[in-house]
Every structure is written in structure tokens, then in C-alpha cells.
Amino acid sequence: MRTHVIEAGFPVNSEAEFEAVSDIAAATDTTVCGLARVVEGDIEAAIDSGVEMVHVFVSTSDVQLEDSMHATRMEAKERAVDAVEQVKDAGVECMFSPMDATRTDPDYLTEIVEAVSDAGTDWINIPDTCGVAMPTSFGKTVKAVVEATDARVDVHTHDDFGMAAANAVMGFENGAEQAQVSVNGIGERAGNAAYEEVVMAVESVYGVDTGIDTTQITKLARIVEDASDIPVPANKPVTGRNAFAHESGIHAAGVIENTDTFETGVMTPEMVGAEREFVLGKHTGTHSVRKHLVEAGFDPSDGEVREITKRVKEYGSGKRQVTAGDVERFAREAGVEREEEVRI
């Protein structure tokens, strides 16, 4: 799909994870990244795994420094600089993250960003580690970091308040060149910015060519859904099974006439490898019922369509959706003729 970078794992975590990262690095021409704390052994493991980029991180918010890392601000900055220098001395591309950046004192955030920039990091990643940033505040943080460094800027957003995709896009609006995303939004707690949502927002709403083959997005979502055993909600943007489904009579009638009436107008199901559906239920109108009947080979009159629509609504009131088989059964029970049965 021409994804730009794959952060494959945390090589020092275990032998199995080291091997997995190594296998991924060897299997693709896409840049592969390994994660590491600002610890010499972590960085050595990442470099030894064969990745082209090492992503080092250190806590910078006071609460994490005091109660998780048990270090001072000065110690964190020194370790960050040492880590960046170790990666760069190995001839590998470096990304640095001030973890919990959105809860970090802004002056200290600028201080540590400037220090690792002077040490030669290629990328600064801005993580909203606890998902507390709102788009406006996150945009200001990104802009401040962009102004404080000559390195390229990347963002990593979490979805605790449902803002991950919006914050990733706001990062782009304020100078970030890259966003860390995950398929189906899988990640810690409520998850990370969803690959499919961010890519399609940038492609469709902003009109930017990301280089991603978007026609495989739905297929990718299903692969990850099966492998992770984490189901994709039906109403999930872009890849949910209802993302391009229409039940409301007003919506369906409009879309049958012109898809832009009740779809985005800038993203079609074909763009993401999906299909448009007209589902039946208690909100269904005559246009959808007629479409289903005709596609099933029936030749209904206006009165028969109204009768079948009434049955669909009644049946759908006690059931979430009405299947195509239900519609055909209603048509047979009402004596609606199929096209091949029509006599002249």
C-alpha cells in the first residue's frame, strides 16, 4: 500500500519481538522503525534488529518523571541527548519523543526539543500520550515545536476523548510532516489515530496525495480485524460495515439519484475498496425497496412497492435489518410477478 514507515515493535522487549522486527525489516523496502527507551541496551537491540530508524523516547511531564521514570528534568534531558547521539553514531535515522508532551511544561518541552535537535535527531515526535489534547491546544503545541527545531516533526495521538484523528490532522495544519497511526485505531486504552481515518481525511478533504494505495484500506482493516480478534464497529468511519450503507428513505432516495446528496462528495466506497449498500429496516422508503425488488428480478407496480415497503417497516421495527431474502419472501407472499413471468 506504499505506507511510508512501519514501526514494527520494541526489539529489546523479548527474543520473539526482536525476531519479528528483524523479519519485518528484511521483508520490505518500506522504512522500518524500532522503538527504544533512552537506554543503551534498548538502542543496541533496535540497531541490531536491522531497522533503518530508531525511535527513542523519554518521559518529560513532571508526573511521569517523578512517579514513573523517577528522574529529574535534567537527567531526562541528558539521557535524551545521549540516546540521540548513540543512534546517530550508528548511522541510523533517529526519531525522538518527549513522552507525555501535551502534559509537559511548555518551557521544558522547548528546552529538551532544542537539546536533541542540537544532538542531531532527524525527527521530533510529539505524543499526546494520555489523549488529553484538544485540536486547538494540540495545534499550538505542534506549532511551538516546529518553531523550536530544524528536525522534521511527527505526531502521535491517542483517542481517549475521540480526538486522535482530528489531532493528527491538526498536527499537519501546524507544520507536522508525518503522523503515527494504527489500522482500525488499535492501541493503548481507547487506541490511536486510525490509519484509515487520517489517510482518507488528508486525501479526500484536503486533496493531498499521500501516495497510499487507498483502494486496499478496507481489505487491510479486515485482515487486522481477523488477526487481532478486535471487531471493527459497524459505524466505524471509513471501514465500518455501515460506512457506506443507507437505510433512511430520504437518504437512500437521494443517493440513488446522486451519491453526493447523502455521502461526503469527496470519498466514495470505491476509493477505499468497499461497496455501497442499501440496507432495509424500519426507516426504509419505497426507492430502496423498488431497487431491491428489481435487482431480484421482480417487476412490481407502485402499489406493490408500497405494500412491500409497509411489510419491511413492520418487520424492521422488531429486527435491526431486513435481508434481501426477507424482501423476496414478502414479494412472493404478495404475489408480485418476476420479470420473466410477465405475459404480453
Per-residue pLDDT of 198-207, as tens digits, reads 999 999 999 9
Confidence class of residue 160 from pLDDT cuts 50, 70 and 90?
very high
5-180 domain in CATH 2.30.30.230?
no
Per-residue pLDDT of 208-262, as tens digits, reads 999 999 999 999 999 999 999 999 999 999 999 989 987 777 786 788 788 888 8
What is residue 342's predicted lDDT score, i.e. its pLDDT?
46
What is residue 123's predicted lDDT score, i.e. its pLDDT?
98
Task: State the average pLDDT for the chain.
Answer: 93
What is residue 340's predicted lDDT score, i.e. its pLDDT?
59
Ordered by start, the domain boundaries in the chain are: 5-180, 280-343
Question: What is the SS3 assignment for the chain?
Answer: CCCCEEEEECHHHCHHHHHHHHHHHHHCCCEEEEEEECCHHHHHHHHHCCCCEEEEEEECCHHHHHHHHCCCHHHHHHHHHHHHHHHHHCCCEEEEEEECHHHCCHHHHHHHHHHHHHCCCCEEEEEECCCCCCHHHHHHHHHHHHHHCCCEEEEEEECCCCCHHHHHHHHHHCCCCEEECEHHHCCCCCCECEHHHHHHHHHHHCCCCCCCCHHHHHHHHHHHHHHHCCCCCCCCCCCCCCCCEECCHHHHHHHHHCHHHCCCCCCCHHHHCCCCEECECCCCCHHHHHHHHHHCCECCCHHHHHHHHHHHHHHHHCCCCECHHHHHHHHHHCCCCEHHHCCC
337 versus 34: which is more confidently predicted? 34
Per-residue pLDDT of 35-91, as tens digits, reads 999 999 999 999 999 999 999 999 999 999 999 999 999 999 999 999 999 999 999
What is residue 322's predicted lDDT score, i.e. its pLDDT?
81
Mean local confidence (pLDDT), 323-340: 81
